């Protein structure tokens, strides 16, 4: 095999066509062309790009190693060994090896594309993971490690940066640059290799040689790092880290709530004598993985940015008894994961108090208004509206309006006028898009575990809004059967004025929340008005009675509501009460 690259741009970083020359068995020569796309990352010598096969359109990750870097025979040897070992491996939790070729300048290794980066980036975003997530990821690693052992392969560099995540959120072990294939069972390797934080003590010792147990050690370090947020032996210099590894000097920090079973598993694995470490089968049998609930095979993509919601966690638990205790622990171990970009999440109970809101505004400079609706603590009267907007956050400077309805559903009205409404139990959602000549909302239902790829960004945003707004609702929703809801209630329209924000719901309810915390909720169908006064007291009237009421505070706001509605329907037209309410 041979190839040549036909560059469109000289810098070699922009759009380029790479040609692979294929010599067939009958001597005929054919060309396979790839378009070199997005830069994915770089390692020691390699740069990795997205490659799409121009004929089949298949997209892969291409590791490009310049031949210049392979001049030393050791480097060449290492690359050949990586290719030889990796190409023979086929397992759902190992990065797929497609094939490799070379041209005059580079060696190209085409690998299965892992579009969700590595566990390194995941942990950077999330700070640390919940126990359920760690169980799910570690079990996938073990599945791949069992396969590696059955093929006599020691990876020798298992670390977060070599645990890739596919678009389906599967773990894929990659980078076989330091891997070794044993010739016979019981063979010991002597070469010192590995990454400082994850390196096993017997590798540092270098006397006795090492085997599969080094990967088990790294798995212990990975488990600790995912749960605690940093590696157990980490220090500012490599020598001290090595000293700590040799002395087995690590501890569990007090500020991170960890279950006894997780600590017990880590302690069992991180023992300096490799012969005393558990086997993969013993690890799987450890109580950490047997807590009376089912560990999910895969996690939703939303967990790339936010911890799984309590209602999501509940799906994996067989009965309410176990649910409450296990969910509690998951929540306790859940960090307040702030997405560095959106920074919407706040601790429970503090949600949207003035100080906190001010801080968020300061942090993001984006949130224009956020407060708890005065009605949030009120139970509707018999005649009151069935559903109203309980909390909202205006992030339309960037993405849209997020809101929580009184029935526990979370929704987003995106700036592109598409809408999402997520069921209270956090599983099913409806996506609304205005299509067709009459611009009607077309509603399509999906689940958070299965939805079209192009909705991923919107789902991540929905999760952010949900974590921010849904501080305490999830615990109240119970474990009721999920029902398909053919007519979801969601915000169809909204607007802001100087004094108020107005929502129009799909069930024709109009709600106006005023700056002074009063609210009008108007149901055109039942012709009822609910008024929430400055003290938060709520009263429901028939519309005719309300219009004739002597309660000036209410009638003024009712009139203002009418004006806003007129404004919305007829375009800008400053309401007469605008000045009065200022």
Ligand X SMILES: Nc1ncnc2c1ncn2[C@@H]1O[C@H](COP(=O)(O)OP(=O)(O)OP(=O)(O)O)[C@@H](O)[C@H]1O
Which residues are designated catalytic? 157
Which of the stretches 43-51, 185-193, 388-396, 469-477 binds ligand X when contact is defined by CB under 6 A?
Answer: 43-51
Query: How many CA within 13 A on the CB side of residue 27?
Result: 0
Q: What x/- string results for residues 145 through 164 when contact with ligand X is judged by CB under 6 A?
A: ----------------x--x
42 forms part of the interface with ligand X (CB under 6 A): yes
d(CA 134, CA 486): 36
Question: Considering only residues 37, 41, 196, 335, which one is a binding residue for ligand X as defined by CB under 6 A?
Answer: 41
Q: Closer CB to ligand X, residue 43 or residue 478?
A: 43
Q: Closer CB to ligand X, residue 171 or residue 283?
A: 171
Joined tokens for residue 204:
């540092």
Cβ pair 38, 19 in contact under 8 A:
no
Nearest-10 Cα torsion for 157, 158, 162, 165: 160
Joined tokens for residue 114:
């892992």
CB of 347 to ligand X, least distance (A): 32
DSSP string computed for 366-381: ---EEEE-GGGG-PPP
CB of 57 to ligand X, least distance (A): 17
d(CA 401, CA 410): 11
Q: Counting runs of H as helices and runs of E as strands, what totals does the chain give?
A: 14, 24
3-class DSSP string for 391-438: EEEEECCCCEEEEEECCCCEEEEECCCCEEEECCCCCEEEEEEEECCC
Joined tokens for residue 61:
């990750």
CB of 53 to ligand X, least distance (A): 15
Q: How many CB atoms lie within 10 A of CB 546?
A: 21
How close are the terminal C-alpha atoms of the chain, in Å? 77
Q: Which of residues 170-189 bind ligand X (CB under 6 A)?
A: 174-175, 177
Question: Considering only residues 83, 94, 95, 173, which one is a binding residue for ligand X as defined by CB under 6 A?
Answer: 95
d(CA 527, CA 394): 29
Question: Closest Cα to residue 32, out of 3, 69, 10?
Answer: 3
Question: Considering only residues 40, 144, 337, 505, which one is a binding residue for ligand X as defined by CB under 6 A?
Answer: 40
d(CA 51, CA 62): 6
Question: Considering only residues 21, 22, 32, 45, which one is a binding residue for ligand X as defined by CB under 6 A?
Answer: 45
Count of positions on this chain that bind ligand X (CB under 6 A): 21
Q: Closer CB to ligand X, residue 161 or residue 575?
A: 161
Angle between helices 119-126 and 213-228 (to 10 degrees): 20
Which of the stretches 107-115, 265-273, 366-374, 523-531 binds ligand X when contact is defined by CB under 6 A?
Answer: 107-115
DSSP 269: H
Residue 140: phi and psi, rounded to 5, are -70, -40
44 forms part of the interface with ligand X (CB under 6 A): yes
Which of the stretches 38-46, 123-131, 349-357, 461-469 binds ligand X when contact is defined by CB under 6 A?
Answer: 38-46
Joined tokens for residue 41:
């990352």
Which of the stretches 24-32, 39-47, 316-324, 424-432 binds ligand X when contact is defined by CB under 6 A?
Answer: 39-47
63 is in an annotated binding site: yes
111 forms part of the interface with ligand X (CB under 6 A): yes
Q: Closer CB to ligand X, residue 16 or residue 162?
A: 162
Which of the stretches 1-9, 45-53, 233-241, 349-357 binds ligand X when contact is defined by CB under 6 A?
Answer: 45-53
Q: What x/- string results for residues 112 through 131 when contact with ligand X is judged by CB under 6 A?
A: xxx---x-------------
Question: Considering only residues 18, 61, 412, 501, which one is a binding residue for ligand X as defined by CB under 6 A?
Answer: 61
Q: Closer CB to ligand X, residue 121 or residue 441?
A: 121
Q: Closer CB to ligand X, residue 63 or residue 329?
A: 63
Q: Closer CB to ligand X, residue 125 or residue 556?
A: 125
DSSP string computed for 497-565: -SSEEEEEETTSEEEEEETTS-EEEEETTTTEEEEE-TT--EEEEEHHHHHT-S-HHHHHHHHHHHHHH
Q: Which of residues 304-333 bind ligand X (CB under 6 A)?
A: none
Q: Closer CB to ligand X, residue 100 or residue 392?
A: 100
CB of 71 to ligand X, least distance (A): 16
Joined tokens for residue 530:
């609910």
Joined tokens for residue 548:
């004739």
48 forms part of the interface with ligand X (CB under 6 A): yes
- Strands 519-523 and 528-532 turn out to be antiparallel
User: What residues have CB less than 8 Å from 258, skipping those under 6 apart?
Assistant: 227, 228, 252, 333
Cβ pair 428, 446 in contact under 8 A:
yes
CB of 114 to ligand X, least distance (A): 4
Please identify the residue of the shown chain whose CB is closest to the bound ligand X.
43
Question: Considering only residues 43, 206, 318, 478, which one is a binding residue for ligand X as defined by CB under 6 A?
Answer: 43
CB of 20 to ligand X, least distance (A): 18
d(CA 114, CA 580): 59
CB of 116 to ligand X, least distance (A): 9
CB of 554 to ligand X, least distance (A): 59
CB of 502 to ligand X, least distance (A): 45
Q: Closer CB to ligand X, residue 100 or residue 164?
A: 164
Which residues are annotated as part of the binding site? 63
Interface residues toward ligand X, by CB under 6 A: 40-46, 48, 61, 63, 95, 111-114, 118, 161, 164, 174-175, 177
Which residues are annotated as part of the binding site for ATP? 63
């Amino acid at each position: 095999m041979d190839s040549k690259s036909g560059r469109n741009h000289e810098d070699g970083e922009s759009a380029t066509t790479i040609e692979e020359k294929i010599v067939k068995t009958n001597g005929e020569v054919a060309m396979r062309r790839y378009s070199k796309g997005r830069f994915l990352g770089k390692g020691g010598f390699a740069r990795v790009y997205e490659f799409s096969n121009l004929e089949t359109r298949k997209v892969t990750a291409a590791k490009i190693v310049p031949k210049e870097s392979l001049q030393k025979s050791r480097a060449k040897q290492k690359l050949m060994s990586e290719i030889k070992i990796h190409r023979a491996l086929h397992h759902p939790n190992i990065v797929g090896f497609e094939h490799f070729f070379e041209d005059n300048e580079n060696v190209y290794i085409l690998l299965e594309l892992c579009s969700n980066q590595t566990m390194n980036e995941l942990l950077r975003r999330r700070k640390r993971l919940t126990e359920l997530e760690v169980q799910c990821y570690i079990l996938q690693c073990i599945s791949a490690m069992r396969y590696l052992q059955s093929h006599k392969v020691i990876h020798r560099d298992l670390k977060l940066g070599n645990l890739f995540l596919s678009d389906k959120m599967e773990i894929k072990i990659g980078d076989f640059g330091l891997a070794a294939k044993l010739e016979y069972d019981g063979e010991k390797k002597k070469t010192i290799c590995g990454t400082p934080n994850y390196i096993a003590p017997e590798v540092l010792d270098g006397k006795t040689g090492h085997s599969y147990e080094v990967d088990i050690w790294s798995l212990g370090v990975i488990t600790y790092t995912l749960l605690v947020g940093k590696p157990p032996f980490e220090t500012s210099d490599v020598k001290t880290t090595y000293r700590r590894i040799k002395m087995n000097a690590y501890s569990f920090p007090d500020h991170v709530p960890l279950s006894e079973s997780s600590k017990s598993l880590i302690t069992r694995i991180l023992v300096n004598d490799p012969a005393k470490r558990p086997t993969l089968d013993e690890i799987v049998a450890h109580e950490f993985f047997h807590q009376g609930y089912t560990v999910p095979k895969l996690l939703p993509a939303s967990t790339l940015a936010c911890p799984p919601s309590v209602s999501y966690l509940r799906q994996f638990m067989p009965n309410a008894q176990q649910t409450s205790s296990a969910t509690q622990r998951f929540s306790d171990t859940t960090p307040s994961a702030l997405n560095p970009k959106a920074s919407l999440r706040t601790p429970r109970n503090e949600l949207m108090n003035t100080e906190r809101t001010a801080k968020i505004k300061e942090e993001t400079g984006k949130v224009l208004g956020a407060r708890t609706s005065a009605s949030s603590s009120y139970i509707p009267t018999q005649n009151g509206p069935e559903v109203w907007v309980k909390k909202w956050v205006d992030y339309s400077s960037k993405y849209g309006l997020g809101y929580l309805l009184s029935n526990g559903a979370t929704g987003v009205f995106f700036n592109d006028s598409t809408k999402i409404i997520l069921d209270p139990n956090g599983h099913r959602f409806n996506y609304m898009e205005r299509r067709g000549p009459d611009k009607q909302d077309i509603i399509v239902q999906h689940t958070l575990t299965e939805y079209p790829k192009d909705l991923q960004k919107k789902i991540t945003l929905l999760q952010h809004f949900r974590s921010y707004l849904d501080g305490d609702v999830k615990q109240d929703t119970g474990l009721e059967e999920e029902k398909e809801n053919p007519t979801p209630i969601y915000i169809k329209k909204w607007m802001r004025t100087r004094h108020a924000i107005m929502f129009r719901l799909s069930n024709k309810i109009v709600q106006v929340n005023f700056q002074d915390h009063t609210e009008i909720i108007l149901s055109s169908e039942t012709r009822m008005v609910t008024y929430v006064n400055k003290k938060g007291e709520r009263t429901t009237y028939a519309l005719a009675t309300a219009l004739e009421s002597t309660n000036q505070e209410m009638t003024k706001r009712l009139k203002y509501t009418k004006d806003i509605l007129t404004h919305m329907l007829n375009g800008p037209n400053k309401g007469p009460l605008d000045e009065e309410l200022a």
